[in-house]
Amino acid sequence: METGLRILVALGLTLLLVLHRLEAERFGAAEYDEPVRGRLPSLRRRLAWYVIGAAGVAAILWVHPAPDRDLYLGAGKGGILLGFALAAVGAGIAVGFAWWRYHSVRLPDVSAYPGALLNEIATAFTDEAVFRGALLGFLILGGVDPSLALLAQAFAYTLATRLGAPGRNPAMFLLSLLIGLVAGWATLLTGGIAAAFIGHAVTRVAIFLTTGHAGQPAARGTEVEEVERRRRTPEGWRIVAGRDAGRDR
């Protein structure tokens, strides 16, 4: 009786944390907050989001009778090594996306580093513990086929990030879905979320370092350097004007 009650409480906490992820934008912890809003979000609000998420995960660890076994809330077997392999792949994807979008690596402003790096790592931890850990674990415990559970948690995660909303970059939506699928696969393979967390965090940090954005690149033609390029006088115009002026004289 007590064990069943503890499991139900842990399930309730998991669902609350899924809803908590939906509210990341209100706290300035969403991937797209900085580039879209054009302002630095409140550090207090961000910290509040991190604290609530971490407290929820800690509560699940305390309440559930076997969180590391049933909910994958542990490092897992070989998770660290696989995590570094996934991190290398994620970094490669980030560089490839930067070259496709900007034809170069676009480093961010130095002032953006502390907040963005903190957000990427803290958000990755909460995401992996909630979606690849608790949610995936409860789906499988509930009798859902592991493959279907893998797909379900990946789509739930991607929708919870709100990256599919109108005006958001579709490439980031697909990247989020890919992270959910690969991280879920790594969790099932190792029996823990360490690999998923390392791969997720490094991929997000690499996106920031190569594109200059925390997770939502601006629309084409709206980047600072693109606007400046359009404002420049086209090459040759001054020379032509000089020749015309000489003829008028």
**Is the separation of the CB atoms in 213 and 110 below 8 Å?**
no
Distance CA 163, CA 143 (A): 29
Distance CA 44, CA 30 (A): 14
Distance CA 232, CA 219 (A): 20
- State how far the alpha carbon of 246 is from the alpha carbons of 81, 118, 240, in Å: 71, 60, 10
pLDDT grade for 249, boundaries at 50, 70 and 90: very low
Which pLDDT belongs to residue 138? Answer: 97
Mean pLDDT calculated for residue range 147-154: 96
Domain borders along the chain are: 2-248
Burial track 216-230 (b if 16+ CB lie within 10 A, e otherwise) = bbbeeeebeeeeeee
Chain-centre distance for alpha carbon 128: 10
**Is the separation of the CB atoms in 47 and 162 below 8 Å?**
no
Q: Which long-range contacts (CB under 8 A, 24 or more apart) does 119-124 make?
A: 119/29, 119/31, 119/46, 119/214, 120/201, 120/204, 120/205, 120/208, 120/214, 120/215, 121/201, 121/204, 121/205, 122/29, 122/50, 122/53, 123/24, 123/29, 123/31, 123/204, 124/197, 124/200, 124/201, 124/204
Give the whole-number percent of the chain exceeding pLDDT 70. 80
pLDDT digits (tens, 9 = 90+) for 64-116: 999 999 999 999 999 999 999 999 999 999 899 888 888 888 887 776 677 77
Query: pTM (2 decimals)?
Result: 0.81
- Is the pLDDT at 10 greater than 90? The verdict is yes
